[in-house]
Amino acid sequence: MHRITVSFILVLVAVNMTAQDPAKVLSSVYSEALGDRTAYNNLGYLCKKTKGRIDGSAEAGKAVEYTRQALLQAGADTVWLQKVKVPHWVRGNEKCVVRSSVNGKKDLKITALGLSVGTTDRGITSHIIEVHNFDELKSLGFSKIHGKIVFFNRPFDNTQINSFAGYGGAVNQRSMGASEASRYGATGVIVRSVTPSLDNFPHTGVMHYADSVNKIPAVAVSTLDAELLSKWLKSDSQLSVHLISNCKTLPDVWSDNVIGEIRGYLKPEEFITVGGHLDAWDITEGAHDDAGGCVQAIETIRIFKKLGIKPKRTIRAVMFMNEEMSSTGGRTYAAEAKKKNEVHYAALESDRGVMSPRGFSFDAEGLRLDKLQALGSWFAPYGIKDFDKGGGGSDISPLKSLGALQIGYIPDSQRYFSYHHSANDTFEQVNIRELQMGSATIASLIYLIDLFDL
Amino acid sequence: MHRITVSFILVLVAVNMTAQDPAKVLSSVYSEALGDRTAYNNLGYLCKKTKGRIDGSAEAGKAVEYTRQALLQAGADTVWLQKVKVPHWVRGNEKCVVRSSVNGKKDLKITALGLSVGTTDRGITSHIIEVHNFDELKSLGFSKIHGKIVFFNRPFDNTQINSFAGYGGAVNQRSMGASEASRYGATGVIVRSVTPSLDNFPHTGVMHYADSVNKIPAVAVSTLDAELLSKWLKSDSQLSVHLISNCKTLPDVWSDNVIGEIRGYLKPEEFITVGGHLDAWDITEGAHDDAGGCVQAIETIRIFKKLGIKPKRTIRAVMFMNEEMSSTGGRTYAAEAKKKNEVHYAALESDRGVMSPRGFSFDAEGLRLDKLQALGSWFAPYGIKDFDKGGGGSDISPLKSLGALQIGYIPDSQRYFSYHHSANDTFEQVNIRELQMGSATIASLIYLIDLFDL
């Protein structure tokens, strides 16, 4: 009886604290986010102290511990680690030298693609053939491809307005190029980095081998060196490349998702997840991809606690492990939720960089989509205007089968692929106000969705 | 008779070429801008080869010649220089050492404010007093201020959503702080840089002396050193500062506005101006402020010519000189227009940086504003959604008295003041796609306003 009374009083207090005008709450959320440097400092730590936090690395372990502490400091009611099995791919020596009797010799800026097999320590030496798509590869056929390194040089389509469309139009060279080239007897592939920038940064990213093919090494080359290689090939089709990339895949290891939650006062058994991914490629600080998404998720907890916003549902900030290679973090999180019969109401992913916020995409239809889009009016004072139908993200997608509304956080897209998966994705490329505006926008949406039962 | 016939045919041809679906024209404009690197290369030249192009400098002269050539290469029908008288203020040696018996000694990162008087070569040594606003200065009065250096330390208000509001709330310390402090007998002022960033870049900017006051030297200090100075003052109010800043103002000199135009086919005697300013502070590459605005104006000409868009009115791209110190470029341009009885239909200024485009502000009311805002529908495919009432910019404001509609180009505001007026405003801080998207957006608006007679 005593406990019931106390609970009842707590509920009343909580209701009072959240029975404010939502416009005023949003105003407080933006002021708090813009006036506080915690998220920016957390980002700085992840970038500078856990750089290269690829699955299975010591840096990833350090990032797990740091974000666990950061969630505690943010005031999460409960913080814990969830075991996740992850691939353990390690880079080796890398070198790519092109030699041409016409043009001379040049070291190309390369980086192995994630999950690629390696060359031997001595590497491979081959002639090289430039192609732009899989149809061209097919029409050249075994006789022209066999024994050569295939150079995929289809550029990112800069004329696309949304840079994700430009990326989407070129990325299959990276993900499937080795498998396709292997069918015709290629010895390896060199893929033009999937970026709109013309610079010296090679951009890595995951690749996969089809079941049936002979696995051949795959590397990305910087766009400037791709331009050079293409130019040299025009005057010397017989130039040769010596490629060393002795990366390898070791047995899977255990890692962790990092989870912190604020217990809901009314429906604690319903969950709203807000997350980013903690792993990053080994060659990068992973500031935009995706330390920013992680610190913004932590910031949702911090802002709620700091302002005394009591959610009806339990709000969980999740740092997912292994988004980059095989998304076992997201799948493990959903599998455990299913095992425990958890009710997952909604999930939001921030994994499109830390640019100025434009809005959200919702995987909803009909009346629910209408209601979600109508939330835009609350964001008018903050210039947030994109409330569109669309997807969530790869880490939260396994929650869809549990009924969770999928929400994607959408920052401005123009700069993202200039940094993505490269050594150029640094803390210095993030602007503090763009990070803070994003945090406020995410926390505000979570608050409104919970408040209005959307 | 012959000439009339030819003109009539030319008009018909021109009408045909622009009688396309405006949506298709905009699509072509965006594709052209995003697929071409001319503007980015022009920006690179202005940043790297004419860095520090302050009024009266050799670099400013070089920027005039470069943009004159760039306008010719863009295909402008006519390109010319317009003489403008500009101030000739030159920086000298700068050093600011703080000495405290409690805390030790430190060199502060400073930069003289534009148009400030200098110290002598030996500099001044004074105690220092921290204030946050002019009321505080007044309440301290002559007895507390006399003989000291006043340290204005009111921060940029980071909680403002639009960073221009944060700037506006702090900038009077920079522009009028010396005059106000001088009334109470101060020997000089050190002003906290007007930026949301905490870093080591001092941000300069223009300052003015009220007529009645004794002119005292004024410098800006980096925000990190402002924080340090404030901290040291708390433990040692008797610390002293030795300040050397022997800048000086030489007699005015002649410089140029750079103008290129496409002659209108129907109303050539009506003008639409699109411009940025060519001068930049001597300590900076001036990438965002405002080389970007200049190359976007040139790009309007290039895109119109490349795509064969024939404007009804004459479109002028103008690189204004001396926006930063006293706007004589804008005033000269308007004065000559008035002298020639030119009809100025509209004028657009791009001087808010080269971030991703959000839209435009229009100094219009009633039905005209409604029509201008309705243009937003053409920009929906490009995510450009801000079509608001607001101002144009300081270079074009003198054209208002000639009836020109004032239009401000509005990119995302969050990052701008991290760069503004500092050595941090570099080419590397500009993203090619954000520049290109801005160029396309500006060229598209100019096209639509001319097409629909708005």
d(CA A173, CA A194): 9
Inform me whether the pLDDT recorded for B39 exceeds 90: yes
- How far apart, in Å, do the first and last CA atoms of chain A sit? 33
- How does strand A149-152 pair with strand B248-262? unpaired
Q: Does A30 touch chain B (CB under 8 A)?
A: yes
Which among B221, B239, B244 has a CA at the least distance from the CA of B148? Answer: B239
Q: Which chain B residues have a beta carbon less than 8 Å from that of A35?
A: 158-159
Q: Which chain A residue is nearest to residue B32, measuring alpha carbons?
A: A159
Rounded to an integer, the average pLDDT of B431-447 is 98
Mean pLDDT in chain A? 95
Rounded to an integer, the average pLDDT of A298-306 is 98
Inform me whether the pLDDT recorded for B6 exceeds 90: no
Q: How far is A445 from chain B (nearest CA, A)?
A: 17
Q: Which chain B residues have a beta carbon less than 8 Å from that of A434?
A: 414-415
d(CA A11, CA A21): 18
The number of residues in chain A equals 454
Interface with chain B: mutation pick from A30, A32, A36, A158, highest number of B CBs within 10 Å: A158
* Count of beta carbons in the 10 Å neighbourhood of residue B326: 18
Q: Which chain A residues have a beta carbon less than 8 Å from that of B160?
A: 34
Q: Which chain A residues have a beta carbon less than 8 Å from that of B352?
A: none
pLDDT tens-digit series, residues A228-237: 999 999 999 9
The number of residues in chain B equals 454
Which among B119, B129, B130 has a CA at the least distance from the CA of B96? Answer: B119
Q: Which chain B residues have a beta carbon less than 8 Å from that of A436?
A: 158
Q: Which of A161, A414, A432 sits opposite B197 (nearest CB)?
A: A432
Which among B278, B258, B273, B296 has a CA at the least distance from the CA of B442? Answer: B296
Helices (H), B19-57: 22-34, 38-49
All domains of chain A in start order, with CATH: 2-87+252-451 (3.40.630.10), 92-246 (3.50.30.30)
β-pair partners for B274:
B317, B348
d(CA A451, CA A346): 13
Inform me whether the pLDDT recorded for B8 exceeds 90: no
Q: Which of A34, A37, A414 sits opposite B434 (nearest CB)?
A: A414
Sign of CA dihedral B196, B202, B205, B209: positive
Inter-chain touch B431–A437, beta carbons under 8 Å: no
Rounded to an integer, the average pLDDT of A164-185 is 97
Q: Which chain A residue is nearest to residue B157, measuring alpha carbons?
A: A35
Would you say A340 and A411 are in contact if contact means Cβ atoms under 8 Å apart? no
Q: Which residue has the tokens 């608050």?
A: A447
Q: How far is A289 from chain B (nearest CA, A)?
A: 17
**Single-letter residue type at A399:** L
pLDDT value at residue A20: 85
How far does Cα B60 stand from its chain's mean position? 15
Q: Which chain A residue is nearest to residue B419, measuring alpha carbons?
A: A431
- How does strand B94-100 pair with strand B104-107? antiparallel
d(CA A280, CA A117): 19
Q: Does B161 touch chain A (CB under 8 A)?
A: yes
| Cis peptide bond N-terminal to B290, omega within 30 | yes
Inform me whether the pLDDT recorded for A262 exceeds 50: yes
Interface with chain B: mutation pick from A412, A415, A428, highest number of B CBs within 10 Å: A412
Inform me whether the pLDDT recorded for A220 exceeds 90: yes
Torsion of CA A229, A235, A238, A241, to 10 degrees: -20
**Single-letter residue type at A340:** K
Inform me whether the pLDDT recorded for A90 exceeds 80: yes
pLDDT tens-digit series, residues B43-63: 999 999 999 999 999 999 999
pLDDT value at residue A19: 64
Per cent of chain B over pLDDT 70 is 96
pLDDT value at residue B20: 85
pLDDT value at residue B223: 98
Would you tell me which residues 167-226 of chain A have a C-beta closer than 8 angstroms to some C-beta of chain B? 196-198
Q: Which chain A residue is nearest to residue B433, measuring alpha carbons?
A: A414
